[in-house]
Amino acid sequence: MNESMQTHYGYAAPGLAVDRQRVLRNTYWLLALSMVPTVLGAWIGVSTGFMASLGFGISTLVFFVGAFGLMFLVEKTKNSAMGVVSLLGFTFFMGLMLSRLIAQILGYRNGASLIMTAFGGTGAIFFAMATLATVIKRDLSSMGKFLFVGAIILMVAGIANIFLQSSALLLTLLVMSMAIFSAFMLYDIKRVLDGGETNYISATLAIYLDIYNVFQSLLSLLGIFGGERD
């Protein structure tokens, strides 16, 4: 009986590991692909000035309605090929939403350099979190609740600051956003490695949002502290 159980679990464990690696590999491939519509959306937004033409209030409303609506669609279709299409549509929309910040940064004399620095910095953070996720052996599932609460606080404080217009609060929120979503990166990648997330479309959506928020926060900070005006 013991030999039978050992044989069973001996074959089951490697099979489980292979499944998890497959999900992670598909997630990374789809994540890389999702950057294409993001860049395309940002380029169209900057070229046309579409987001600037909407005004800050309307664009904020469009962001929340569009982002949450498309995220719901991605989760609804994640078990079919339509899920990939929905995800790429979502990343295009997010690129479009990012265009206002990109255009603002490009207004600086060193804007292109700041964008490349933010891109490189985000890539370095992602690489560090992905590496850390493979090294850490303990279960990180308990982090999820604290990170979720942190993200909600960030969102509420961000909405409040639309009316308060506090520079100090903005800087605090940007730094907190980088910290929270860097930790989310670690948490989301570890979930895939531990088998907590078995759908690569959902995994890609979660990690994409982490990367997006880290990049946006880092780029904003670089613009505030390193932007050179003509």
For 5-40, write each residue's pLDDT tens digit: 334 444 445 666 788 889 999 999 999 999 999 999
Per DSSP (E only), the strands in the chain are none
Encode pLDDT of 122-148 as tens digits.
999 999 999 999 999 888 888 989 999
Per DSSP (E only), the strands in 43-139 are none
Mean pLDDT of the chain: 90
Q: Taking the model in full, what pTM does it have?
A: 0.90
**CB contact set of 159 (below 8 Å; sequence gap of 6+):** none
Q: Are 190 and 140 in contact (CB under 8 A)?
A: yes
Quick one: average pLDDT of 87-95? 97
Based on its alpha-carbon atoms, the radius of gyration of the chain, rounded to whole angstroms, reads: 20
Listed residue (115, 99, 90, 91) closest to 49, CA to CA: 99
What secondary structure letter does DSSP report for 80? S
Helix axes 111-135, 167-194, angle to 10 degrees: 40
Per-residue confidence (pLDDT) for residue 78, from 0 to 100: 96
Dist CA 196 CA 90 (whole Å):
23
The helix (H) or strand (E) run that includes residue 15 is: helix 2-48
Per-residue confidence (pLDDT) for residue 51, from 0 to 100: 81
Question: 7: how many CB neighbours lie within 10 A of its CB?
Answer: 10
Per-residue confidence (pLDDT) for residue 14, from 0 to 100: 63
Per-residue confidence (pLDDT) for residue 17, from 0 to 100: 74
